[in-house]
Structure 1
Amino acid sequence: MPPASPPPYLVDNATKVASSSEPIDEPNKLQGYASAPGIIDEVTRVTDHKAERRLCRRFDIRLLPILAIMYLFNALDKGNLGNAKTDGMTDDLHFKPNQYNLLLSIFFVPFVIFAPPFSMLGKKYSPARVLPILMFSFGCFTLLSSAANNFGGIFALRWFLGMSEAAFFPLVIYYLTTFYRRGELARRLAIFYAASNIANAFSGLIAFGVFQIKGSSIPNWRYLFIVEGGVTVLFAIFAFFYLPRSAAEASFLSEEEKALAFHRIQVDSSAIVNEKFNLREALGIFKHPTTYAFLCIEICLGVPLQGVALFMPQIVARLGYPTVKTNLYTVAPNVTGAAMLLVLAFLSDYTRLRSPFIVLGFLFTFAGFMIYASIDDVKHELQLAYFATFMMTWGTSAPSVMLSTWYNNNIAHEGRRVLLTSIGVPLANLMGLVGSNVFRDQDAPKYMPALITVSAFGATGACLAGILALYMWLDNKRRDRRDGVTVHAKDIPTDRMRDGPSSPEFRWFL
């Protein structure tokens, strides 16, 4: 029996051979190239691998360190309240019971409200310009926090801090998708996001150093805000003039490299490169049921993520160390969290799989909190309790990057990509409202209700991610049977997947 013929959409324009020896001088020459997996050479593959690797290295060197440092300061300015509290901030500002939890919670309200509109502005005016402006803003509000004299003052500053940080992470994700292929994105995002873990560790080191100041006329926690906010403002000014608006406008690339960069993104990231934002078209992302599954997984991720970020000093404090050592002992778990994130992200890009590593991360979270909750006498089982804090950071780091990468890999429409990211990431952060309110003062020092709640969200996230991955795998198999040919997501140029699952040639990136 002869093999089934491929469907028409896989062989249209087949007379144009993708492996033509004609040099690619201009991006518009790439538009007509064919892409028939298994029929002719695919344009999703670039034959000059050395040139492509060289281009990626240039992006890595020029973009990733700067973005990582920017996100480090973002995480420092957002998460320094825990360190300030250990030095008596709440006593100096005469907080009433549970006002500290309210202070943590208010940050997430503007964070969610302003993320979509600010992300749309970033899409319109380029993340390379909007990101440094946002960074300058949250650096200023961190500086002003050092001058707060009461709960009302720092409460208002946390509102504006949440507003200025709202679109930062979504815009960085979108920005990187305009430079890297889908299969290259996870490890780059991991390197960038590892700065968050390093920031949590670095925050402990900064607090350790600042709290050694003796004989100061102002409390040391105020110096913490001054140091972190001041450096953030200075670096934002540098980043504004350093980051390229796009690969096409990158002064460090030659014309040939710009053409190659355009080709890579056109066939393996965006349906239309630098597409003008159209809100009505972008809202089409909500026609797909998988969108809601991704958002539910973001919710499950947000509770453990924010719980660990906001309360790691309090969790470690239960081990019985003094204030200075408590901040110091938060360093190692966060550093290993960054290392685990990098390991899983590199494995994810190597295997071109996202879902298994997301599930694994959630299981780490579940195990870490359950182990910690099961220990009655932490001082008697000090090593096991401290090891559990390591598992907590392992489990919150990897899913946060892999999940964003997963749904960005499955959305070729740039507007829909930035819209979903600008909702999904803040939604995970909104769960800080849960995380900041389950760790209640009356439950100290064990915080048993909080530990159980966070564990439950971790287990639910693992189940949802596994079910969604199974659905995608089955749907890919169904489409292959319909077409009579096995096609992988990596083999289909993204310009043919602009309409998402409604497109016949669409395949899920698992």
Structure 2
Amino acid sequence: MMATEKTLFDARSTDDVESPPSVNEANLQVDPAAEKRLLRKLDCFLAPMMVLFFLVAYLDRSNIGNAAIAGMTEDLELTGNRLNVAVTVFYVTYISFEIPASLVLKKARPSRLIPFFIIGWSVVIIGSAFMTNYATLIATRLLLGAFESGLFPCLTLYLSTFYKKEEQARRISYLFVAAALSGAFGGLLAFGLTSIHGTRGLAGWRWLFLVEGIISIVVGIMAVFLLPDNFESAWWLCDDEKALMRVRHEQTSVYVGESEVFDKAEVKLAFKDPKVWLSAICQFFADTCSFGFSTFLPVIIKGFGYGSVQTQLLTVPVYIWASAVYIFISFMSDRFNQRAVFMIPMALITAVGYSLMLGVAMVSTGVLYFATFLTATGIYCVVGLNVTWVSNSNAGYFKRATAIGLQQTIGNSAGIMAGQIYRITASDGRYTIGHAVSLGAIILAAVGYFTMFLALKTLNDKRDKMSTEERGREINSGKKGDRHPDFRYIL
């Protein structure tokens, strides 16, 4: 390598080019320009795949709301609370496999496990196009929950192996932007497919399931060939870029003590950590809003007095707005290396949206529709940033894997409740119980985020004040991961 060329590492000599960095090179200074180029390349290859995987997941999960207003309710005789039960049972199996999925990801290999999930639920969605009664609806929802359960914790954990903690908010945001865009895309798809009702003897809602299932299975097959297990096997990284990835890994794992084999001690640490439980409880409250809003937005808007076709189109701008806001907020969160300062205001904006939907007269359809934009503004931001926060706050690998899985298990159990709270409580179609419960939940989430901020700040301040002797005792006692005295929490 010539001296005039851009080097990967400021401290690396020209004699080192042929051999990869050793594990003791964590003190090397990375060339910022080379690192920026590497991050751009990671984003170019990883971001589209992550968005696509999560987009089809949310599309297939939440299309039940679009199908319900497109004739499925009548065709399957979903009287009483049957639709609510169908929404709820998805989360019974969904929450059961999240922790196991995240723990076996490394052993099972991302390039195999993640495509398995996608192809599995795609087959279920295709089968949903041929449901004949309520019992088959319940069966397909249970299977769908089982296959989708591992995707999000596995993708979050997967991204944490490529990016440093201060880079993760924007990258994990891609998953939630995909969730929001799935609502917009799902509304447009539902509008188009339900308009071909009766073609080849299939109702419009059946075409919705069939086409979305085929799209998903194509994505799953693509994942088999495109998804690398780690940066070492990434076919799109050159040798120098892999060398830089090794140094980045060492820079972030000097005090972490990452284990390549299953570590039961780290799993236990996650279950004993009060911060993990607080994060999980906050996620439960935020997910109560997220699941209720994303699943029932079509029926909420229809309750304002709009027709079925118009309703499908009106969901689209809401999700596009939510996506744009979250992209901006996640970028700013990484830019300033802060979480709570963005999460708390976003939660309060969502609270204002729910308040408007509860308090404004049903004749004011324009104001009520505007309220859905306010509600959507904060939902994806707080849910997504909280996932990033728990990933940032736990190390090493198996503690982080367990913490993410535990947070998602408890958080997603909110879907069981969210599926039951949106019921028509008056002839005018106002969803009073659903909005009131969601309002209380998002306020409690904001209180939890502030509590987390105070707890982490206290720990950081305590470590900042450690003497050299105290720091040495902590290290000599075997403290590693986020318990290491050099670890600092992002606030």
Q: Return the TM-score normalized by structure 2.
A: 0.91
Distance 1:325 1:497 in 2: 59
Deviation by residue 1:100-150 (Cα, 9 ceiling, x = unmatched)? 111011000111111111222222122232111100001110000111100
CA contact (8 A) 1:72 1:195 kept: yes
- Measure how far apart 1:20 and its partner are: 3.6
1:92 offset after TM fit, Å?
0.5
Structure 1 stretch 210-219 or stretch 396-405: which is displaced more?
A: 210-219
Measured in 2, the distance between the counterparts of 1:459 and 1:29 equals 49
- 2:344 paired with 1:355: no
Is 1:134 matched up with 2:114? no
Q: Distance in 2 between matches of 1:221 and 1:214?
A: 8
CA distance in 2, matches of 1:441, 1:367: 21
Could you say which residue in structure 1 is the equivalent of 2:128? 145
Letter in 2 for 1:239: A
1:508 aligns with 2:489: yes
8 Å CA contact 1:443–1:449 kept in 2: the answer is no
**Secondary structure, in 3 states, of the residue corresponding to 2:486?**
coil
1:420 aligns to what SS in structure 2?
helix
Equivalent-residue separation in structure 2 for 1:251 and 1:331 (angstroms): 36
Instruction: Kindly indicate whether residue 292 of structure 2 is the aligned counterpart of residue 310 of structure 1.
Output: no
Aligned position for 2:309 = 324
Cα–Cα, structure 1 residues 214 and 295, in superposed 2: closer, same or farther, change >3 Å? closer
Cα offset, 1:484, TM superposition: 7.9
For the pair 1:389 / 2:372, whether they are aligned, the reply is yes
- Give 2:228's match in structure 1, choosing from 227, 231, 244: 244
CA distance in 1, matches of 2:12, 2:182: 48
Q: Which residue of 2 aligns with 1:169?
A: 152
- 1:155 aligned onto 2:138: yes
CA distance in structure 2 between the aligned counterparts of 1:318 and 1:242, rounded to whole angstroms: 43
Look up the equivalent residue of 2:457 and give its one-letter code. W
Stretches of structure 1 lacking an aligned partner (at least 5 in a row): 1-17, 35-42, 488-495
Please tell me the residue identity of whatever aligns with 1:135: I
Shift of 1:184: 1.1
What amino acid maps onto 1:499 in structure 2?
Answer: G
Which secondary structure does the structure 2 equivalent of 1:482 belong to? coil
1:184-242 per-residue CA deviation (whole Å, 9 max, x = no partner) reads 11111112320110001110000000121154322110000000001101111111111
State the 1:481 CA deviation. 2.2
CA deviation profile, 1:361-418 (whole Å, cap 9, x unmatched)? 2112211101111112x33x22221111011111111011111111111112111111
1: distance between equivalents of 2:410 and 2:54? 18
Q: Which residue of the partner structure matches residue 8 of structure 1?
A: none
Number of residues paired by the alignment? 472
Structure 1 residue 478: deviation in Å? 2.4
421-430 or 172-181: bigger deviation:
421-430
- Residues 1:235 and 2:219 aligned together: yes
Q: CA deviation at 1:342?
A: 0.4
Do the aligned partners of 2:278 and 2:452 also contact (CA within 8 Å) in 1?
yes
Give how far 1:292 is off: 1.4
Quick one: which of 186, 205, 212 aligns to 2:195? 212
Give the counterpart of 1:268 among 252, 261, 264.
252
Q: What secondary structure, in the 3-state scheme, does the structure 1 residue paired with 2:22 have?
A: helix
Task: Tell me the distance in 1 between the aligned counterparts of 2:104 and 2:196.
Answer: 42
The one-letter code matched in structure 2 to 1:412 is A
Contact 1:302–1:427 (CA under 8 A) maintained in structure 2: no
Q: Counterpart of 1:324 in structure 2: which amino acid? A: V
Per the alignment, residue 94 of structure 2 pairs with 111
8 A Cα contact 1:123 1:277, kept in partner: no
Deviates more, 1:115-124 or 1:73-82: 115-124
Could you tell me which of 466, 469, 475 is aligned with 2:459? 475
1:198 and 1:269 map into 2 onto residues whose CA distance is 35
| Preserved contact between residue 196 and residue 204 of structure 2 (Cα < 8 Å) | yes
Identity of aligned residues (%): 28
In 1, the alpha carbon distance for the partners of 2:395 and 2:47 equals 23
Q: Residues of 1 paired with 2:87 and 2:250: CA distance?
A: 42
CA apart distance, 1:19: 6.3
Say whether residues 1:431 and 2:424 are aligned partners.
no
In 1, Cα distance between equivalents of 2:84 and 2:106: 34
Distance 2:116 2:354 in 1: 37
Superposed CA RMSD = 2.2
- Does the Cα contact within 8 Å between 1:103 and 1:158 map onto a contact in 2? yes
Deviation at 1:256, TM superposition (A): 1.7
CA distance in structure 2 between the aligned counterparts of 1:241 and 1:405, rounded to whole angstroms: 27
Q: Which residue in 1 is equivalent to 2:396?
A: 413
Q: TM-score, normalised by structure 1?
A: 0.88
1:499 maps onto 2:481 in alignment: yes
Partner of 1:155: helix, strand, or coil?
helix
| Cα contact 1:98–1:441 (8 A) shared by 2 | no
CA distance in 2, matches of 1:210, 1:409: 41
SS at 2:145's partner residue? helix
CA distance 1:92–1:76, change in 2 (3 Å)? same
Question: In the TM superposition, what is the alpha-carbon distance from 1:24 to its structure 2 partner?
Answer: 7.0
* Offset at residue 27 of structure 1 (A): 5.5
How far has the Cα of 1:437 moved from its partner?
A: 0.7
- 2:5 aligns with none
2:4 match: none
Structure 2 unaligned blocks of 5 or more: 1-8, 472-477
**2:474 corresponds to:** none
Aligned twin of 2:274: 289
Paired position in structure 2 for 1:83 = 66
Deviation at 1:316, TM superposition (A): 0.8
| Number of the residue aligned with 2:239 | 255
Amino acid in the other structure paired with 1:410: S
SS in 1 for 2:95: helix
8 Å CA contact 1:139, 1:233 repeated in 2: yes
Please say if residues 362 and 459 of structure 1, whose CA atoms lie closer than 8 Å, have aligned partners that are also in contact: yes
8 Å contact kept, 1:410–1:509: yes
Which of the residues 22, 39, 49 maps onto 1:29? 22
The code of the aligned residue for 1:347 comes to M
SS of the residue corresponding to residue 95 of structure 1 reads coil
Please say if residues 288 and 414 of structure 2, whose CA atoms lie closer than 8 Å, have aligned partners that are also in contact. yes
Would you say 1:102 and 2:85 are equivalent positions?
yes
Contact 2:281 2:410 in 1 (8 A): no
- Asked whether the 8 Å contact 2:50–2:174 carries over to 1, the reply is no
Match of 2:167 among 164, 184, 187: 184
CA drift at 1:426: 3.1
Distance change >3 Å, CA 456–CA 205, structure 1 → 2: same
- Corresponding residue of 1:364: 349
**Equivalent residue letter for 2:342:** F
Q: 1:214 to 1:139 in 2, by over 3 A?
A: closer
- In the TM superposition, what whole-angstrom CA distance separates every residue of 1:428-487 from its partner, at most 9, and x where no partner exists? 2210111111112445611112111100000010011012102211222222223389x9
Moved more, 264-273 or 73-82: 264-273
Read off the aligned partner of 1:55 and give its amino acid letter: L
Q: Secondary structure at the match of 1:200?
A: helix
- Separation in structure 1 between the aligned mates of residue 236 and residue 465 of structure 2, nearest angstrom: 46
